[in-house]
């Protein structure tokens, strides 16, 4: 399909977008976090609203203004993001997981600020794995027929190229679409531009989205979601 920049092809649809990066606290003042700015998720929310959708934006630690006409739910941790996304997904035609949830959290959070030891020793931080929200959504399917979309920021490594790792992740996650971007060098973080390849579980040819504003990638993603909606 062609990009529907002004049409209302998502009217009557409820979509959920997650954005930003979660934080996992070590103590009241420190956390483990990541470099996600939330720009791509906010662009997705704005684009969906412009195309007539009812939009719930689950926003993790983003410092951008609320998009007009969008319901914003603020979260900090991956556990909170999971709860907010699953609650909103119960009535959603599509969920797009643009957020970067922390994969691990400290096994315990210190109630008091952690102090330096006098002997110069350093603490060891023990971590446990967070729930995988996308995997859970895709495998439990709260709304049959809802289009579930993941993102994969890959650098490629000894085990495979960016696209090979993306294809493996699509299969593992069980989602319908996976938006793969190459983050080698870290150029995408906080950048107004993005480029990606959209992989589909239904066997459709990958859609290559050339470098451009994050709004353009957002519309390309909604194009792929919209064509998979059951009429
Ligand atoms: N994701 C999620 N819950 C997590 C981690 C990731 O829902 N706890 C989602 C992200 O929002 C994204 C997709 O899964 O849409 C892929 O995230 P990514 O970090 O690339 O996948 P991981 O399975 O965490 O794999 P990796 O080891 O490469 O980080
Ligand atoms: Ca991860």
Query: Helix 214-226 to helix 39-50 angle, to the nearest 10 degrees?
Result: 50
Distance CA 202, CA 156 (A): 24
CA of residue 34 to ligand 2 center, whole Å:
10
**Residue 1 pLDDT exceeds 50:** no
Phi–psi pair at 159, nearest 5 degrees = -90, -15
130 an active-site residue? no
User: What average pLDDT score do residues 106-123 get?
Assistant: 95
Q: Which ligand is nearest to the CA of 40?
A: 1
Q: Whose CA is nearest to atom 18 of ligand 1?
A: 152
Q: Is 194 in the pocket of ligand 1 (CB under 6 A)?
A: no
- Asked if ipTM goes beyond 0.95, one says yes
Q: Is 67 in the pocket of ligand 1 (CB under 6 A)?
A: no
Q: What is the pLDDT of residue 69?
A: 96
Distance CA 44, CA 31 (A): 27
Q: What is the pLDDT of residue 5?
A: 52
Q: Pick from 38, 60, 138, 152 the residue to mutate for probing ligand 1's pocket: most ligand atoms within 8 Å of its CB.
A: 152
Q: Is 230 left (phi over 0), alpha (psi -120 to 50) or beta?
A: beta
Q: Is 132 in the pocket of ligand 1 (CB under 6 A)?
A: yes
Distance CA 18, CA 59 (A): 6
Percent of the chain's residues with pLDDT above 70:
97
Picking from 94, 65, 71, the residue whose alpha carbon sits closest to that of residue 218 is 94
Give pLDDT tens digits for 186-207: 667 778 888 899 999 999 999 9
What is the dihedral angle through the alpha carbons of 61, 216, 71, 17, rounded to the nearest 10 degrees? -70
Q: Is 150 in the pocket of ligand 1 (CB under 6 A)?
A: yes
- Asked if 175 contacts 132 with a C-beta cutoff of 8 angstroms, the reply is no
Decide which of 28 and 188 is more confident.
28
User: What average pLDDT score do residues 171-185 get?
Assistant: 93
């Amino acid at each position: 399909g062609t990009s529907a920049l002004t049409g209302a092809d998502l009217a009557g649809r409820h979509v959920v977008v997650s954005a930003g990066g979660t934080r996992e606290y070590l103590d009241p003042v420190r956390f483990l976090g990541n470099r996600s700015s939330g720009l791509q998720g906010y662009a997705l929310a704005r684009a969906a609203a412009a195309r007539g959708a009812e939009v719930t934006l689950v926003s993790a630690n983003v410092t951008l203004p609320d998009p007009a006409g969008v319901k914003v739910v603020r979260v900090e941790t991956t556990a909170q993001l999971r709860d907010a996304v699953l609650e909103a997904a119960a009535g959603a035609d599509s969920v797009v997981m643009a957020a970067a949830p922390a994969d691990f959290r400290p096994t315990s959070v210190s109630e008091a600020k952690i102090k330096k030891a006098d002997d110069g020793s350093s603490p060891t931080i023990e971590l446990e794995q967070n729930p995988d929200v996308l995997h859970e959504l895709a495998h439990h399917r709260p709304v049959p027929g809802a289009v579930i979309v993941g993102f994969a920021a890959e650098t490629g490594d000894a085990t495979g190229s960016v696209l090979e790792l993306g294809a493996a992740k699509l299969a593992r996650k069980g989602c319908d679409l996976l938006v793969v971007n190459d983050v080698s060098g870290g150029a995408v973080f906080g950048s107004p531009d993005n480029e990606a390849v959209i992989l589909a579980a239904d066997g459709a040819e990958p859609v290559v989205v050339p470098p451009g504003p994050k709004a353009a990638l957002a519309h390309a993603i909604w194009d792929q979601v919209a064509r998979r909606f059951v009429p």
